[in-house]
Amino acid sequence: MKQASRAVHAGRGGKAGMGARTPLAPDLSTAAVHVYTDLDDYDAVAAGERPGHYYGRNSNSNRAMLEQAVAELEGAEAGVATGSGMSALHVAILALAPKPATILATRELYGGTLALLRQDLEPAGYEAHFVDMNDLEAVRRAMDGAGLVLIETITNPLCRVPDIEAIASMARASGVPVLVDNTFATPVLCRPLALGATAVMHSVTKYLGGHSDLVAGVVVGSTSHMAAARARSVRTGTPLAPFDSWLALRGLRTLDVRMRRHSDNALALARAMRSMPGVAKIHHPLLDGSPSHAVASRLLPQGAGGMMAFDLDAGRAAVQRMVSGFQMVAFAASLGGVETTISYPEITSHRGLTPAERTELGVGPGTVRVSVGIEAADDIVADFAQALGPGAGRPN
Ligand SMILES: Cc1ncc(COP(=O)(O)O)c(C=O)c1O
């Protein structure tokens, strides 16, 4: 089955799940608890020896369907859905590195991930070691002594694409598990497990859900890693609620068509931006001249998704002028929805970093991140063009 078909059918349990009179779209089960009349039956279900649900923190039919669907799309044995991308990341790290260890991570991590490492995991004995994942020699040198590698398929906000395949191969040689945050690419465009990763997590809030109407996370990997992640999620009480699971699965059904349109539109906008006033730099992995062009062309042959960024010469004042000038595009500090939105990393995703740290990453007062939606490409380009039009690139 191709990914486009899998996105539509995954999690239904194949033909068996589509028997006579079964609902085509899943029923929503909000029950917190199920009734049992046979103690042995309960015992077997609670032990995981028999399928079924008994208590909502442990499992739920809508959550189970979403978990199965994402696992199928990523080519994993199992999945665990949680109440946010951050909780998915947390249980994933603890499943792969249960004892304090050195976490080798990309320098360009999502801000929330960086905060989790620094404020929660480091005080508990973990150590974060940041390297430029685009520098494979530096990664090789840092692999010795690492307990986990944490990378993002496409980095935020500058959209660099590390060579997951090469990094995973080095990690395997050293016996180090690799966790990939595949939020920006989704399994439609990249399947990190097939490239050698150990487990994959998503902020389902973004593209998998796709409609900016839920907060959710998921991690997928081997049966044993996912059993550990699930146990942790059950103990700490982070499972995803039934309705959000239902909504996420509904979003997932259109993932393939959305990702193709997001990818086409983002590349069209990135190309069109080259002739817009006041734009100093454009960051899109498949744009000619991008430092990630070769790796992205190999690892993301069907497109790089809807994320791109650009720098305005004239800094914050020019960004404000552009925001005020938009007719359709909105400033909203998330991504992955059907609408085109922009974010301003200095005060959103990267606000927890010092100015020096932001500068080191290449994030400045003129840096704007765009989550390119699925509207008509011409309308998106036209809105940026008019918002950046005469005068928009100059300081106030
Ligand atoms: C790449 C990435 N990973 C993880 C997260 C955290 O996800 P959530 O906000 O669903 O907890 C985000 C959120 O912006 C993200 O962009």
pLDDT at 392 over 50: no
pLDDT at 293 over 80: yes
Give the closest residue (by CA) to ligand 1 atom 16. 110
Q: What is the pTM of this model?
A: 0.96
- For residue 347, the CA-to-ligand 1 centroid distance in Å is 16
- For residue 349, the CA-to-ligand 1 centroid distance in Å is 9
Helices (H), 59-153: 61-74, 85-96, 111-115, 136-143
Residue 26 Cβ inside 6 Å of ligand 1? The answer reads: no
Residue 152 Cβ inside 6 Å of ligand 1? The answer reads: yes
Residue 182 Cβ inside 6 Å of ligand 1? The answer reads: no
CB 183 within 8 A of CB 207: yes
- For residue 112, the CA-to-ligand 1 centroid distance in Å is 7
Give the closest residue (by CA) to ligand 1 atom 14. 334
Residue 110 Cβ inside 6 Å of ligand 1? The answer reads: yes
- For residue 84, the CA-to-ligand 1 centroid distance in Å is 8
pLDDT confidence of residue 351: 87
Which residue from 205, 247, 307, 349 has its CB within 8 A of the most atoms of ligand 1, so it is best to mutate?
205
Residue 72 Cβ inside 6 Å of ligand 1? The answer reads: no
CB atoms within 10 A of CB 41: 13
- Rounded to whole angstroms, the Cα distance separating 140 from 138 reads 5
pLDDT confidence of residue 19: 85
- Rounded to whole angstroms, the Cα distance separating 370 from 385 reads 14
Residue 84 Cβ inside 6 Å of ligand 1? The answer reads: yes
Query: pLDDT for 216-250, tens place per residue?
Result: 999 999 999 999 999 999 999 999 999 999 999 99
CB 34 within 8 A of CB 52: yes
Residue 81 Cβ inside 6 Å of ligand 1? The answer reads: no
* CA atoms 300, 182, 108, 96: torsion sign: negative
Residue 207 Cβ inside 6 Å of ligand 1? The answer reads: no
pLDDT at 174 over 50: yes
For 159-175, letters b (16+ CB in 10 Å) and e give bbbbbbebbbebbeeee
Query: pLDDT for 52-95, tens place per residue?
Result: 999 999 999 999 999 999 999 999 999 999 999 999 999 999 99
User: 107 vs 128, 151, 162, CA distance in Å?
Assistant: 10, 9, 11
**Phi, psi of 87, rounded to the nearest 5 degrees:** -70, -30
Q: What is the mean pLDDT of the chain?
A: 95
DSSP state string for 210-270:
-SS----EEEEE-HHHHHHHHHHHHHHT-BPPHHHHHHHHHHHTTHHHHHHHHHHHHHHHH
pLDDT at 183 over 90: yes
* CA atoms 236, 95, 93, 88: torsion sign: negative
* DSSP SS3 for 393: coil
- Rounded to whole angstroms, the Cα distance separating 103 from 268 reads 37
- For residue 91, the CA-to-ligand 1 centroid distance in Å is 14
pLDDT at 394 over 60: no
Please give the number of the atom of ligand 1 that sits closest to the Cα of 215: 10
User: 215 vs 22, 26, 64, 116, CA distance in Å?
Assistant: 28, 20, 17, 17
Least confidently predicted of 114-128, 156-170, 381-395: 381-395
Residue 29 Cβ inside 6 Å of ligand 1? The answer reads: no
Which residue from 110, 215, 343 has its CB within 8 A of the most atoms of ligand 1, so it is best to mutate?
110
Helices (H), 174-218: 186-189
- Beta-bridge partner residues of 179: 150, 199
* Token pair listed for 299: 């690892």
Residue 205 Cβ inside 6 Å of ligand 1? The answer reads: yes
**Phi, psi of 99, rounded to the nearest 5 degrees:** -110, 155
Query: pLDDT for 241-258, tens place per residue?
Result: 999 999 999 999 999 999
Give the closest residue (by CA) to ligand 1 atom 6. 85
Helix axes 85-96, 223-236, angle to 10 degrees: 120
- Rounded to whole angstroms, the Cα distance separating 53 from 68 reads 15
pLDDT confidence of residue 393: 39
pLDDT confidence of residue 147: 98
Q: What is the mean pLDDT of residues 373-382?
A: 98
- For residue 396, the CA-to-ligand 1 centroid distance in Å is 33
- For residue 203, the CA-to-ligand 1 centroid distance in Å is 5
- For residue 86, the CA-to-ligand 1 centroid distance in Å is 6
- Closest C-alpha among 379, 351, 376 to residue 365: 351
Helices (H), 60-207: 61-74, 85-96, 111-115, 136-143, 164-173, 186-189
User: 357 vs 107, 108, 120, 291, CA distance in Å?
Assistant: 10, 10, 20, 20
Collect all residues with Cβ–Cβ distance below 8 Å to 31 and sequence separation of at least 6.
53, 56, 60
Enzyme catalytic residues: 57, 110, 181, 206
Residue 92 Cβ inside 6 Å of ligand 1? The answer reads: no
